[in-house]
Each structure stands twice: as structure tokens, then as C-alpha cells.
Structure 1
Amino acid sequence: MYRFLSPLICFMTPLVLQAAVFKCISPAGQHSYQDQPCPADHAAHTLRGGNFSLVTREPYQLRELQDSRQQTAKQARAMQQEQAKALQLRRRQHVQQDKHCRRLQARQQTLQRQLSLSRSPLQTQRLQSRLASLANDLHDAACPP
């Protein structure tokens, strides 16, 4: 039985390998695909190649769409992380500025107390000069009055 089966397969293999698909376009513009040559009044395109599939590109397009959405989501997360870092940095700078202002204001109060207790004109003049310089520092640091 195998003796008859193997020649049969050998004879049928070239028939399968020679298969071609004909794309026929009718005069009305309708497309049809067939395994025989097109009629004379139809425009013909012979499609050669190995495997023809009825699968459309929709799964690939869906995958590309999903990939682009994932990229967009990654970019959005990266932007959110950058914004969070920037906000954290601004908060840290604000806290440091508040500390600096409190130190300057505490120094100003100390100098004002010393000025009220000063007895010599020279010491009063020096304290007033330091207070004026400190007032400039407070203004430069944009501390609230």
C-alpha cells in the first residue's frame, strides 16, 4: 500500500505548489478572488506566493494601538513623576526659605532688644547699622514682615 501512496503524493505535490490566486476586477469595479484565470472582460491580477491568509491586519493594528496606549501611559506616568519631584523640590525650598526667614527675624528681635538696652551712643549706632543691614537681608529673602 505504501508503494502506491508515495508516487501519488509525489505527483500531487507539484499541483499544490503551482497554485495561484487570481484577483479579478469586473467592469463594475467588484473584486473577486479565484483559483482560475479571469474572464476576458475582467481585469486580472495574478497573486503569486506561498500562503494566503484570510486574516486581516486588525489584530496587528490592535496590538499597535495597545502598544501606543502603553507608551502614552508610560509617558504620562513619567510626567507625573517629574511633576511630583518638582513639587517636592518646591516644598523643600519653601521650608528652607521659611527657616532662613525665621532665623533672620529672630536675629532682628535680638538686636532690637539689645538696642533698647544699649547705653552708649556708639553701641546704639552699631546696633542700628546691624538692624538696617538685617532689614535689607529680610527684604532680599522676601520674608513677610
Structure 2
Amino acid sequence: MPFGRMVAFHGQMGMFVRALAYMMSHGADGLRQVADDAVLNANYILVELNGTMTAPYAGPCMHEALFDDTFLKDTGVETLDFAKAMIDEGYHPMTMYFPLVVHGAMLIEPTETESKASLDLFIATLRDLVASAKARRYRAVHNRAATGADQAAG
């Protein structure tokens, strides 16, 4: 069944095709499961990091776990340093400094396809980074090897 003529106003056609294919491959029940898994993974991270990192709001989250930088107070480590250390550990850093109403915001959005084992490894890595920051062993930015981009910017 055709869905009509597509023009530039409607965005990128490839994105629509991929989204439609994803939805059709999962079906209604599958999409519900995907959404439930994403929420479960985010809440698992939020609960497991309780006491290690600080959440600005109490209660469960939806598909994103939000933390602020209170746990980094008096360590000399900033949110950006923490994100760069995550890169050093092999993880793509979380969304930083958003939402703007949360100081030093770190917004972690795990995908619905992550296994419990991969989430546990990620959580253990974050705990190690926090422990290093609090023990002042954290040198993700100040003593790291300079890259070409760093030298060009400096």
C-alpha cells in the first residue's frame, strides 16, 4: 500500500524506510518488548550506580538514567574528564551537560539489546572510574597522551 509522495519537507527517505522496516520486523508485541527492555536497562543502571554516582531526581527513570556531577565534588574531575575516561575505557561517552537544568548532567541511554553481562561490565567500569576520581588517581585528561586534535587545538 503506497504512503504517498515524499518530498524534502518530510526529511530523509532512508530514515523513514529503516524506521518502518524496524517496526514491521518487530510487530506491535515486539515494539512493546523493545520499549520495556530499554526502560528496564536504564533503571538497572540507575539502581546499580545508586551510592556511586548521584541522581538529581528520586524514583525510577524511563529509557535514560540521569546523573549529576555531585559525586565528583572535591576530586578535581569534571564531567568532561569523566567522559574522556570512558572513551579511554572503550565506551562511547554519555550525553553530557543535558538537560541544562542539571549541573554536570550525564545522561546514560542503554540500548534495549544490551545483555545483563554487558550492563554489569559497564557499571563496574563506571564504579572503577568514580573510585579512581575519589582516590585522586584519575588522570584521564591531564596526563593522557596528546592526540593530533589536541595539538592542533592547543
TM over 0.5, yes or no? no
Higher relative contact order (CA 8 A, sep 6+): 2
**What is the TM-score of this pair, normalised by structure 1?**
0.24
**What is the TM-score of this pair, normalised by structure 2?**
0.23
Higher helix share: 1
Which of the pair has more CA radius of gyration?
Answer: 1
